[in-house]
């Protein structure tokens, strides 16, 4: 039995994608871990045809190394394709891992007020 069978991924994370002429906003709520990171990766990968991509992590309650890898890959892909990448964060569960790993600076993460998300 896999972990996915024990706890369905859709109960752990919600990923909403909003598209406009200005770009794509991927809004993530819940836990980003080894079980849910592939869903985030798929949403991010699908957004690289847009001129800009915002990954809104304001609602994330847990972020592990699998989620950090998704963000690092997004940075590399955005750089290669000339896509403007914004990453928004507010809570310690996201801010601290990004700071410890050095991704905070690499990604140029924008600190937003809790609940502000991509409205910032």
Residues 60-85: tens digit of each pLDDT: 999 999 999 999 999 999 999 999 99
CA distances from 115 to 48, 90, 98 (A): 26, 8, 19
- Res 5: pLDDT: 47
CB-CB contact of 53 with 24 (8 Å): yes
The whole-model pTM stands at 0.88
Residues 9-28: tens digit of each pLDDT: 667 899 999 999 999 999 99
Q: What strand order describes the sheet that includes 84-89?
A: 13-20, 23-32, 52-63, 84-89, 110-111
Q: Kindly list the structural domains of the chain, giving each domain's residue range(s) and its CATH number in brackets, ordered by start.
A: 21-113 (3.30.750.24)
């Amino acid at each position: 039995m896999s972990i996915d069978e024990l706890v369905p991924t859709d109960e752990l994370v919600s990923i909403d994608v909003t598209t406009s002429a200005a770009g794509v906003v991927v809004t993530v709520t819940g836990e980003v871990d080894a079980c849910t990171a592939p869903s985030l990766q798929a949403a991010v990968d699908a957004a690289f045809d847009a001129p800009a991509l915002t990954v809104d992590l304001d609602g994330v309650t847990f972020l592990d190394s699998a989620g950090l890898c998704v963000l690092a890959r997004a940075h590399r892909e955005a750089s290669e394709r000339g896509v403007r990448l914004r990453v928004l964060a507010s809570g310690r569960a996201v801010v601290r891992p990004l700071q410890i790993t050095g991704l905070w600076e690499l990604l140029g993460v924008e600190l937003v007020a809790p609940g502000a998300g991509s409205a910032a």
